[in-house]
Amino acid sequence: MPFSDYRTALVTGASGGIGAAVVERFAREGLTVHAIARSAEPLKALAEKTGCVPHVVDVTDRAALARLTSEVAFDVLVNNAGVDRPKKFLEADEGDIDLLVDVNLRAVLHLCRMVVPGMAARDRGHVINISSIAGNYNFGGNSTYHATKAGVAMLSNQLRIDTFGRRVRVTEVCPGRVATDIFAHVHGDSPEIRERFIDGFELPTASDIADAIAFAVAAPVSMNVGHIEITPTLQVMGGLQTAKPASPGGGEAR
């Protein structure tokens, strides 16, 4: 169902990065875009630039989301808001677990609950869930994040089953490393962090991800692009490690 068949879109996590890029792309396609974020100033600037309808709302504020989704029938839903607290699970913090589950998974579930039934009733709609390669591959120090993104991956598959027979399309987008400010938000904004994650690497940009999403949305109504994995050409997932058992004294074996 191409862009011309859609009129309204809702994008979460829209104050920067991929979310802001998607708002800009959708606005250029003529959609009325409602942009949700917690940060008022970046959202105001985005509204001035794109003409989007800004909503300073935390995605964990279920009442505010319910009011908005009851007032507007959304044709496209982009679940982009997300947080991370990198930490080995053996050192997991109770508050961090709750935060990641609330933002990365619970908010996605509830927004789909609020929006998707209307799409099915109208026989028209597209859900874009921004997941992560962390939902499909394992790497150290992010166990709760992996778990929430895996939940989004399974939800994306299940929505297609639950809306079977209706023209509701679902696309899970799984980015690898992308040149956005997410690393500064998670690890702190410093030259060292930029050098570790951004500087010197050939990385996709937020607008590249938005273009991929636009491809899925603009596809013919008979075509559902269900899964898009986007990584730098010079990034791979996987590897093999083998550990020796701990010594009887509790330290590492030598």
Catalytic residue at 145? yes
Greatest Cα pair distance, the chain, in angstroms, is 68
For residue 73, with 0-12 CB atoms within 10 Å meaning exposed, 13-18 middle and 19 or more buried, which class applies?
A: middle
Residue type at position 14: A
- Among residues 143, 145, 148, 175, the one annotated as catalytic is 145
For residue 59, with 0-12 CB atoms within 10 Å meaning exposed, 13-18 middle and 19 or more buried, which class applies?
A: buried
Which SS3 state, helix, strand or coil, does residue 229 take?
strand
Contacts of 120 (CB under 8 A, 6+ apart): 163, 166, 168
Residue spans of beta strands (DSSP E) within the chain: 8-11, 32-37, 53-56, 76-79, 125-130, 168-175, 227-230
Give dist(CA 49, CA 44) in Å, integer: 9
- Signed CA dihedral, 15, 18, 19, 20: sign only: positive
Residue spans of beta strands (DSSP E) within 155-210: 168-175
Catalytic residues: 145
